[in-house]
Amino acid sequence: MRWHFHLASPPHADGVFNMALDEALMRRAGRTGEAVFRVYGWSAPTLSLGRNQRARGWYDEAGARALGVGFVRRPTGGRALLHDHEVTYSATMPLDDAAEARVAYDFINDVLLGALSRLGVKAERASTPTSLPPGVRPCFDVPAAREIVVEGRKLVGSAQWRRGGALLQHGSVLIRDDQATISRLTKTTSDDPPAAATLLNALGREPSLEEVSGPIRESLQAAVGARAEPLCSDRELERDVERLAVAYADESWTWRR
């Protein structure tokens, strides 16, 4: 499989564009048979909702606007996640069945673990057999089995989606832990989640997105044994992004349930 690596310039965009491009790249994988590992950031704090998460009526939208926090619903499952002080990744590849998806999940985590090691972060896979249904509790509340943790605390939150013979997996590597903001924006009374692991705590400083992207690319190339070429956009990809951006901006999708 041919891999590309994509770090846009500038690398930060809004939630609608980020979700539209991730899905468009998944469609591209099904069309071309090529894989893309993308690293990106967010131009404004954004709370992303899992595909099947119940959210309508649960969040204080006025309070979120006052804090400058937007909302977007992901194509992937899982629970709420605040995107702000983090490095976000996506991996898209041609893939057909659930068994291959599990293999892909472990492969992508291997790439991330290799990148973290290059940065000097001692991370590992969680062994806790925790399985949590979609809900208003934050994604980083409790690590599930095989997720990436540091000293038992979740550092990377990831989710997958398969469609049309292709897979999308994307997730966040926390630079700073601001996930408690999610609890403060819910209309139900809830305690702040346990502290998550962060690159700040692991390294004693906050690395830039560009500083993290280099080790990810190096780790990907080591894993596949080949150079990951830059992604060159094409008109079909751009058209998909344009169409999908309309869908992700639609309030009926964001608050579908």
Choose the catalytic residue: 80, 121, 139, 237.
139
Report pLDDT digits (tens) over 92-111: 999 988 889 999 999 999 99
Whether the full predicted model's pTM is greater than 0.95, yes or no, is no
Cα distances (Å, whole numbers) of residue 63 to 46, 59, 67: 13, 9, 6
Query: What pLDDT is attached to residue 7?
Result: 96
Residue 50 pLDDT > 90: yes
Active site annotation includes 139:
yes
Distance CA 34, CA 1 (A): 6
Alpha-helical runs (H) found in the chain: 15-32, 61-67, 98-119, 180-185, 199-203, 209-224, 235-249, 251-254
Query: What pLDDT is attached to residue 65?
Result: 95
Domains of the chain: 3-254 (3.30.930.10)
Distance CA 157, CA 251 (A): 25
Maximum distance among all alpha carbons in the chain?
A: 50
Per-residue pLDDT band for 191 (boundaries 50, 70, 90) equals: low
Report pLDDT digits (tens) over 119-171: 999 999 988 655 554 455 555 556 677 899 999 999 999 999 999 999 999 99
Distance of CA 241 to the CA centre of its chain: 18
Distance CA 219, CA 252 (A): 39
